[in-house]
Amino acid sequence: MPYMNSTIAENYQRTLKAIEQTCQRNQRAAGDVLLLSVSKTHPVELVTAAYATGARDFGENYVQEAVDKIEALDALMPDNQAIWHFIGPLQSNKTRLVAEYFDWVHSVDRLKIAQRLSEQRPASRAPLNLCLQVNISQQDSKSGCAPDEATALALSIAQLPNLRLRGLMAIPAPMNSADSWAQQRAPFDALRVLFERIKAQLPPEQASFFDTLSMGMSDDYELAIAAGSTIVRVGTAIFGARHYSNELETQ
């Protein structure tokens, strides 16, 4: 079979099972955690393979690559129910396409980007779901707002029309294998504490939509689930290794 559809199906089902078992071990309901299949750099054929085994939520990082893929999937499967999540760094000049094509954006870290997404969201579409990205490990030159700016930013973004502020996203600093389990888990716990603090300050209606902790990737989603993640973003464990072309890196 082209593109090893059976491998993708096995990987996806294995990951779902691992999420379910991790939920059980942590006294959480399996339905609490959404598996977001991160398809960046992979062709639309791999998206259709994951879709065939049940995946509906797909994550992409590069705007033009994603738009091409969304259009290709719509052409192949006109009635598909795929839900597209933008999870990469977002520049102002790319917000229009994201507002038009996506259902979710996890990587908003500035008010200006949120304002543009709000203005550019087509009236015909449901509000765009948004997560505020927080630089939880306070790494230099990394995306995400500073943790101490997050509350003010969230309160401002939650006021904007055509958007729905759903929660927080973070990519913690890479783990050191010598770190203890508690040390590795600490940034995820810190994001959850920040999430709860913000939720308590949002007006009641906006607080009711604020339900998402987007944290955990192929190597650390079990730790993230133990700490309260509600969306894990998994690429490699489902689709295999990525091969970056120069074209993608410069987008």
List residues near ligand PLP by CB under 6 A. Answer: 38, 40, 61, 87-88, 171, 217-219, 233-237
CA distance linking residue 144 with residue 158, whole number of Å: 17
Q: Considering beta carbons, is residue 136 or 234 the nearer one to ligand PLP?
A: 234
- By CB neighbour count within 10 A (0-12 exposed, 13-18 middle, 19+ buried), where does 7 fall? middle
At its nearest, how many Å lie between ligand PLP and the CB of residue 218? 3
Could you tell me the end-to-end alpha-carbon distance of the chain, in angstroms, rounded to an integer?
31
C-beta of 27 vs 141, nearer to ligand PLP: 141
Distance CA 119, CA 199 (A): 24
- Between CA 87 and CA 102 the distance in angstroms is 10
Of 178, 162, 166, 85, nearest to 125 by C-alpha is 162
Residue 38 C-beta: closest distance to ligand PLP, Å: 4
**Distance in Å, CB of 75 to ligand PLP, minimum:** 25
Q: Is 166 helix (H, G, I), strand (E, B) or coil?
A: strand
Nearer to ligand PLP by C-beta: 54 or 244? 244
Segments in 86-235 forming alpha helices (H)? 95-101, 111-120, 150-157, 181-201, 204-209, 221-226
Which residue, 9 or 217, is less far from ligand PLP as judged by CB? 217
Nearer to ligand PLP, 196 or 219 (CB): 219
Residue nearest to ligand PLP (CB): 235
